Every structure is written in structure tokens, then in C-alpha cells.
Amino acid sequence: MYPHYKIPPLLRNLLRTETGVLGNLMQHVDFLQGLEQKLAAFLGPAVNIHCRIANYANDTLVLHADTPSWASRIRYNTPQILLYLQNECNLAALKTIRIKVMPASAQIVKTPDKQLKLGPHTANLIRDSALSVTDETLKSLLLKISKYTEDCS
């Protein structure tokens, strides 16, 4: 089963109001989450715990299945899924559904015992991004995050 990671509400609201890349990314995330809820209702609980929307871009929807057998079952039903998404979810531009296997071993695993640290390059990217953000609250949060770097001594 895929883990669901949620962005804290305050940060989500700040990102949603941001213009540019961060704002566009949050709009895409919100769109994918809404689309995944509709697809889960269509597929039913027996299937939706094994299938997640990975992305939708241009005319292609990418789904992740947790095992090859579930990927085959979902692939077998792609014509019905495609019709549902085109007609009921207003995705008239959707032409292709690609299904990839994302085994449980390849999923992101949380490590609560270990404090995660950023590499120096990533910390610098976040710090540089923070300096270009106009919202002061978001800027201070990004600067705070950028301080969680690995000690490279």
C-alpha cells in the first residue's frame, strides 16, 4: 500500500498562493489528488489500494501499480478507465494511460529514528530559492529548512 504524505496546512496555503514554479506545482498536486479520488471511486477499494496516479502531463496519465499482476489487471481495464476519465472527469485531451510497476521495496520508507539532513548542494538550492520568494513567511521557512545540512567534516 502506498503511503500518503501530506504537506502541513500552513505551508500548503503559502505554496498555493505563491506564483511561478511553486504555485504551479501545488496546483498540479491538488489536481492530481482530486483526480486520484475520482479514479479510486471508479476502481473500487479492491483495486485502488494497489494503484496510484503518478502524473498527468499533455495527453498521458501515468499510473503506478504495486505489483506486476495488479499492473496487468489495471492494463486490461485501461479502455474503461480512459473513457471514464475523458467523459466523467473532463479530461478530453487524455489519449494514453501508461502503467508502471512500483514495487513496495521501491517505495519511500520513512525513517523516524534518523534525523534527515540535506546535502550541501540541496541546501544551497533551497536557500537560493528562498531569496527569490516574495512571501516573508515562506521565505523564513525555506531558510530554516536550508539549515538542516549534513556535516561534511
H/E stretch holding 53 reads: strand 51-57
**Residue 74: count of CB within 10 angstroms of its CB:** 19
pTM of the model: 0.58
Domain count, the chain: 2
Which pLDDT tens digit goes with each residue over 4-30? Answer: 556 566 666 666 666 667 777 878 888
- Are 83 and 129 in the same domain? no
**Residue 22: count of CB within 10 angstroms of its CB:** 19
- Are 85 and 143 in the same domain? no
Which pLDDT tens digit goes with each residue over 64-113? Answer: 999 999 999 999 999 999 999 999 999 999 999 999 998 766 555 555 55
Establish if 101 belongs to a structural domain. yes
- Are 83 and 128 in the same domain? no
The range of the structural domain enclosing residue 41 comes to 9-106
